[in-house]
Amino acid sequence: MDQEDDSSFSALEVQVDSSHLPLVKGADEEQVFQFYWLDAYEDPYSQPGVVFLFGKVWIESAETHVSCCVMVKNIERSLCFLPREMKVDINTGKESGTPVTMKDVYDEFDEKIAAKYKIMKFKSKAEMPQLPQDLKGETFSHVFGTNTSSLELFLMNRKIKGPCWLEVKNPQLLNQPISWCKVEAMVLKPDLVNVIKDVGPPPVVVMSLSMKTMQNAKTHENE
């Protein structure tokens, strides 16, 4: 990635062929999409389980970087159950004196929770109903990860700590534009996105905005 300084190029002057993605050869010799990640966005209400990554990608034909957006789909919730020491009667809250085993937790989960919330193997599709934060059972006292966002799960699972180069395997073209970026791609599994280490960042132009708002007397909203 020894690209030349492209600070003198204007993004408006760059012509990008939208019929294919600017792929390069990855570490394992397969064609991948490499870009420098700068920001991310998610809409958990209209598009649960989807994260949009924004950054810059190198265009060899133009010898410059342009803006890009990568849509990551099918991010699942990961759930962790805290087992009780003794089984509890949910109706009375009293311990039964029977020790809890991991099999007891799995059995209760499969019989009483998995079918209701469409969960398999302690993972749940993001578009399925969210588990209650105070959910308890006879064999477990708490469930962790019920309200963790898809963006947080993605960044933690892929070990992305900040702006960096990312490599996307099996990227796909999008039929319809989803942003104002020059290049757009989609990946169907978060596991196909990996961090590239020990590579310097591309040139970046930064703009700062200072905004002032007024409260609308009728709607009581800032405008």
* The predicted structure's pLDDT at residue 26: 86
| Residue 98 belongs to domain spanning | 80-144
pLDDT above 90 as % of the chain: 45
Are residues 54 and 108 both part of a single domain?
Answer: no
Region 143-159: what's the mean pLDDT?
86
Task: Taking residues 54-69, report their average pLDDT.
Answer: 94
* pTM value > 0.75: no
Tell whether 189 is covered by a domain.
yes
Contacts of 89 (CB under 8 A, 6+ apart): 95, 96, 138
Within-domain flag for 204 = no
- Out of 4-8, 97-101, 131-135, 145-149, give the one with best mean pLDDT: 97-101
**What was the pLDDT predicted at 117?**
67
Supply the pLDDT for residue 183.
96
Does 70 share its domain with 170?
A: yes
Domains contained in the chain, number: 2
Q: What is the mean pLDDT of residues 163-182?
A: 95
Last residue of a domain, one of 144, 164, 182: 144
- Among 91-100, 117-126, 154-163, name the most confident range: 154-163
CATH number of the domain bearing residue 157: 2.40.50.730
Q: What average pLDDT does the chain have?
A: 84
pLDDT of residue 9: 46
Phi, psi torsion values for 202, nearest 5 degrees: -80, 170
Q: Specify if 209 maps to a domain.
A: no
- Looking at the predicted structure, is the pLDDT value of residue 44 above 60? yes
Residue 51 forms part of a structural domain:
yes
pLDDT at 11: 45
